[in-house]
Amino acid sequence: MARIYQVAGKKGATWYLDYAVDGRRVRKRVGRSKKLAELALADTQVKLERRELGFTQTDKKLDDLIAEYLKHVRANGIAYSHDLSVAVLERFKGHLGLERLKDIGHLKIENYKNWRRESGILASSVNRELAIIKAMFNRGVEWGFLPRSPAQAVKKFKEPKRQARFFSQDEIKKMLAADDLVMRLIVSVLVNTGLRRDELLHLTWGDVNLERKQLTVQAKDGWRPKDYEVRHIPLNAAALKTLNGLRGGRDPKDWVFRDAAGQRYRADFLTHRFKKFLRGLKIEGSLHSLRHTFASHLIMKGADLYSVSKLLGHASIKTTEIYAHLAADHLTAAVSRLEF
């Protein structure tokens, strides 16, 4: 609640602003203009409603917010996001060189964004870092660390739209004929199921039903799939053959893909190993290109976007629309065969 009032003096009456926030009473001298006092009152009421005024944030440290946010990320089972968040927030803190949240403004974050871009980092990578920083400050507002997010007005870089890279059938055949057995098995499963990297790494034998020819993507202790969705993927003959060859009487809790010690492969290890695998075959692409390959070839073989979206686990079919042009090419080729 805020109000204005007058105090008489030798040189005339003076208007004051009076309000309470965070359990403390605040009085401010406005001046002799009633109109100015009314404007100050209206502005204060809006700021109080938006929680843009307060004292509790002045003693809060950036380190404390980072620690709390990382605990939140870890507790929500996003292992890869936790590792990335640690690296991004440590870099962000080091660049700012500030301890108190009250000292961090919009311009400081803009400077960090521009510094990263000028360091040669891709716009898409800087945007991912900004997403983490924005998420942290948004949580900070919810948790009472600060009245509003200093990152709210910071805009992401515009990213050039690129066509998704997918492998040709000849390239996939080349991979499946390579000497690296582990990579052959991983390629076979990814290109026939469209799993994300983390979904593959967290796949256990309890998620694989060979009798029903179905694979289930679902949460585990300390990990959950994107958007928290559980989805079921039918297994085709090629995927079944690969998984049957791997089975070997393993426990349902065992990882499907694991190292010699029975441990799950690390995400960065798998990514770098696959890059090396592709270099040896003189093929351009990445591990994620296998997911694009799964979707692209399904579309080219006549699958509809809705079905592909469900198989990929996309929250919105708009994400799947990057493959729509392949359907158009396929239909054009079909229509061109007609002659009347």
Please report, for the domain that includes residue 243, its CATH number.
Answer: 1.10.443.10
Q: Are residues 248 and 176 in the same domain?
A: yes
Q: Identify whether 223 is part of a domain.
A: yes
Q: Tell me the percentage of the chain whose pLDDT exceeds 70.
A: 92
Same domain, 22 and 134: no
Q: Which of 200, 165, 199 is nearest to 322 (CA)?
A: 165
Confidence of residue 330 (pLDDT cuts 50, 70, 90): low
In this structure, the answer to whether residues 308 and 209 fall within a common structural domain is: yes
- Whether residue 88 sits in one domain with residue 206: no
Over residues 282-306, mean pLDDT: 93
The answer as to whether 113 is a domain residue is yes
Judgement on whether residues 108 and 241 belong to the same structural domain of the protein: no
Strand partners, 2: 19
Contacts for 106 with CB less than 8 Å, ≥ 6 apart: 150, 151, 152, 153, 154
Task: Indicate whether 152 belongs to any domain.
Answer: no
User: Domain for residue 102, yes or no?
Assistant: yes
Residue 242, number of CB atoms within 10 A of its CB: 19
Residue 215 confidence (pLDDT) above 50 = yes
CB atoms within 10 A of CB 10: 4
Domain boundary among 54, 75, 93: 54
In the predicted model, what is the mean pLDDT of residues 234-259?
88
Range of the domain at 81: 62-142
Whether the per-residue pLDDT at 262 is higher than 70: the answer is yes
Same domain (yes/no): 130, 217: no
CA distance 184 to 189: 9
247 within a domain of the structure (yes/no): yes
Please check whether residues 41 and 70 belong to one and the same domain. Answer: no
| Residue 67 within any structural domain of the chain | yes
Higher pLDDT, 62 or 164: 62
- Reported as a pLDDT band with limits 50, 70 and 90, residue 57 is very low
Domain boundary among 13, 31, 54: 54
The encoded tokens of residue 32 equal: 């002799």
Express each pLDDT in 23-53 by its tens digit. 678 888 888 888 888 898 888 888 877 766 6
Whether residues 35 and 66 share a domain: the answer is: no
Distance from C-alpha of 252 to C-alpha of 284, rounded to nearest angstrom: 36
Q: How far is CA 68 from the centre of its chain?
A: 18
Crossing angle (nearest 10°) for helices 79-96 and 106-118? 100
**Is residue 251 included in any domain, yes or no?**
yes
Q: Are residues 173 and 116 in the same domain?
A: no
| Single residue among 54, 75, 91 that ends a domain in this structure | 54
Rounded to the nearest 10°, the torsion over CA 164, 286, 258, 217 is -10
Sign of the C-alpha dihedral, residues 123, 229, 257, 289? negative
Residue 125 neighbours by CB under 8 Å, 6+ apart: 116
Q: Give the Å distances, CA to CA, from 113 to 10, 54, 84, 251.
A: 54, 28, 16, 47
Between residues 6 and 49, which one has the greater pLDDT? 6
Q: Do 265 and 129 fall within a single domain?
A: no
Counted domains in the chain? 3
Please tell me the distance from the alpha carbon of residue 166 to that of residue 250, in angstroms, as a whole number. 33
